[in-house]
């Protein structure tokens, strides 16, 4: 090795991993087992004199300012590093809006002048933490639930399912139940409802949930009193503690419950990997930490497999759930840390790295929904697409 190559290798610094969620942001360095910080996706807005969420925007310019302020908070307050010296691994959902992706790239490359960045989708990053060749990733985020099948490091795009069944649905149901118990129009902020959900709520088994729907409901769990700063305390009944998570399993004519979208994702996959997907289910996301959720989901999946339209198309046997070597909330971040640490010298890239020079020349990101990126080189329409670029 030449002397200048060795000096360049020594000077290469660890890349940073950014998982910018709608409620919480995870930020840290590659090669580490946990993020350096997990904070709310908000910052202090000096013009509006309040804490503002990153996803509160109405124009691209407002989104640009939000991302600038959020990244400044992460780089210079929580990890204390120079962004110009570090590559970035951005962990994102497959359904992230194009405007958000393009604006984030513009902030990273033009405002903070990072040398390179890698965009990694969260299903593959979650599957990387298991090391299994076939994984069914069920992600319960703050706003929606996403189900994706990862087969040999490739996402089956036609099988991706998503429904608004995240933590927000659980908090909305909890507030509705609390208002029924109190008999008044109770107003509680989101962070209080989130704290009540985390500290008091759980998921009942399927047999007990059916009894709640019958004429002879079971004896409720013990109620608790949650102290509030100004209202004294609010009583969280055992009924509210048990039934808050029921919207995740409530079926309708559209078959849009959480167990339904899991089975629909498996049905859209090739037939030779369906049993392997059922035997390697990974439940991630902040809402996945509810006690009893995995057991209830397994019971619901086993029951739905005996009903149409799944009984005639699926022969799965049993469902097996794995636990990732990280907290449910930071599973995708850990996969991004492994992805970034796999390159020599601590770099975060290789063939997938988008350098700053390339971005400044092309001003676009690769995207799986863009025909310019997913059309084979020898396709008849390839020349026409190249001309449009």
Question: When comparing pLDDT for 246 and 341, which is higher?
Answer: 246
pLDDT at residue 373, rounded to an integer: 73
Cα–Cα dist 354/88, whole Å:
10
pLDDT at residue 7, rounded to an integer: 37
pLDDT at residue 229, rounded to an integer: 77
**Does position 2 have pLDDT exceeding 50, yes or no?**
no
Q: Which of 71, 75, 54 is nearest to 63 (CA)?
A: 54
Q: Which of 59, 82, 85 is nearest to 71 (CA)?
A: 82
Cα–Cα dist 168/122, whole Å:
20
pLDDT at residue 382, rounded to an integer: 63
Cβ–Cβ < 8 Å for 17, 89? yes
Cα–Cα dist 151/309, whole Å:
24
Rounded mean pLDDT, 222-247: 89
Lookup: tokens for 107: 């902030």
Q: Cis bond leading into 309, ω under 30°?
A: yes
Going along the chain from its start, the domains and CATH numbers come out as 16-125+330-384 (3.30.420.40), 130-164+256-322 (3.30.420.40), 167-248 (3.90.640.10)
pLDDT at residue 350, rounded to an integer: 47
Tell me how far the alpha carbon of residue 47 is from its chain's centroid.
30
**Does position 345 have pLDDT exceeding 50, yes or no?**
no
**Does position 372 have pLDDT exceeding 80, yes or no?**
no
pLDDT at residue 3, rounded to an integer: 39
77-126: pLDDT as tens digits: 999 999 999 999 999 999 999 999 999 999 999 999 999 999 999 999 99
pLDDT at residue 346, rounded to an integer: 43
Q: Which of 40, 85, 15 is nearest to 345 (CA)?
A: 15
270-291: pLDDT as tens digits: 999 999 999 999 999 989 999 9
* Range with the largest mean pLDDT of 21-25, 229-233, 314-318: 21-25
Lookup: tokens for 19: 């998982």
Cα–Cα dist 370/279, whole Å:
33
Calculate the average pLDDT of the chain: 88
pLDDT at residue 11, rounded to an integer: 52
Cβ–Cβ < 8 Å for 149, 277? yes
Residues 6+ apart with CB under 8 A from 110: 360
Cα–Cα dist 244/105, whole Å:
38
Least confident of 170-174, 247-251, 368-372: 368-372
> Is the Cα torsion angle 304, 308, 314, 317 positive or negative in sign?
positive
Question: What pairing do the DSSP bridges indicate for beta strands 154-155 and 145-151?
Answer: antiparallel
- The pLDDT confidence band at residue 349, using thresholds 50, 70 and 90, is very low
pLDDT at residue 108, rounded to an integer: 96
Helices (runs of H) and strands (runs of E) counted in the chain: 15, 16
Lookup: tokens for 213: 């729907």
pLDDT at residue 348, rounded to an integer: 52
pLDDT at residue 224, rounded to an integer: 92
- The pLDDT confidence band at residue 344, using thresholds 50, 70 and 90, is very low
Instruction: Quote the pTM value.
Output: 0.89
Q: Which of 259, 244, 247 is nearest to 194 (CA)?
A: 244
Tell me how far the alpha carbon of residue 271 is from its chain's centroid.
27
List C-alpha distances in Å: 240 to 143, 170, 246.
Answer: 21, 11, 10
161-204: pLDDT as tens digits: 999 999 999 999 999 999 998 877 788 889 999 999 999 999 99
Q: pLDDT exceeding 70 applies to what percent of the chain?
A: 91
Lookup: tokens for 121: 């989708």
pLDDT at residue 5, rounded to an integer: 40
Radius of gyration of the chain (CA): 23
Cβ–Cβ < 8 Å for 134, 153? no
Cα–Cα dist 368/153, whole Å:
15
Cβ–Cβ < 8 Å for 29, 16? yes
């Amino acid at each position: 090795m030449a002397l200048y190559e060795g000096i360049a290798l020594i000077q290469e610094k660890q890349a940073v991993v950014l998982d910018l969620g709608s409620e919480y942001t995870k930020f840290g360095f590659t090669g580490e087992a946990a993020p350096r910080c997990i904070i709310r996706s908000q910052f202090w807005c000096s013009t509006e004199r309040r804490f503002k969420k990153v996803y509160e925007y109405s124009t691209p310019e407002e989104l640009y300012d939000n991302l600038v302020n959020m990244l400044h908070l992460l780089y210079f307050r929580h990890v204390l590093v120079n962004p110009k010296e570090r590559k970035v691994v951005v962990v994102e959902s497959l359904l992230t809006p194009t405007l958000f992706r393009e604006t984030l790239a513009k902030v990273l490359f033009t405002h903070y002048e990072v040398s390179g960045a890698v965009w990694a989708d969260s299903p593959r990053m979650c599957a990387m933490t298991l090391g299994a060749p076939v994984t069914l990733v069920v992600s319960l985020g703050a706003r929606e639930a996403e189900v994706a099948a990862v087969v040999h490091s490739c996402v089956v795009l036609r099988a991706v399912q998503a429904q608004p069944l995240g933590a927000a649905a659980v908090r909305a149901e909890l507030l509705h139940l609390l208002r029924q118990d109190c008999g008044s129009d109770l107003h509680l902020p989101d962070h209080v409802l989130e704290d009540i959900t985390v500290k008091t709520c759980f998921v009942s088994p399927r047999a007990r949930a059916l009894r709640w729907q019958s004429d002879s409901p079971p004896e409720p769990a013990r109620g608790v009193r949650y102290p509030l700063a100004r209202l004294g305390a609010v009583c969280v009944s055992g009924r509210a503690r048990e039934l808050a998570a029921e919207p995740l399993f409530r079926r309708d004519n559209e078959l849009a419950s959480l167990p339904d979208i899991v089975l629909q994702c498996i049905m859209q996959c090739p037939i030779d990997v369906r049993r392997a997907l059922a035997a390697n289910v990974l439940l991630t996301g902040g809402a996945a930490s509810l006690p009893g959720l995995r057991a209830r989901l397994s019971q619901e999946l086993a029951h739905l497999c005996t009903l149409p339209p799944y009984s005639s198309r699926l022969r799965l046997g049993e469902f097996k759930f794995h636990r990732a070597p990280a907290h449910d909330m930071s599973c995708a971040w850990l996969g991004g840390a492994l992805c970034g640490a796999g390159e020599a010298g601590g770099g975060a890239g290789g063939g997938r790295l988008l350098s700053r020079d390339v971005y400044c020349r092309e001003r676009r990101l690769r995207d799986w929904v863009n025909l310019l990126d997913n059309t084979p080189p020898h396709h008849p329409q390839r020349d026409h697409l190249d001309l449009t670029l």
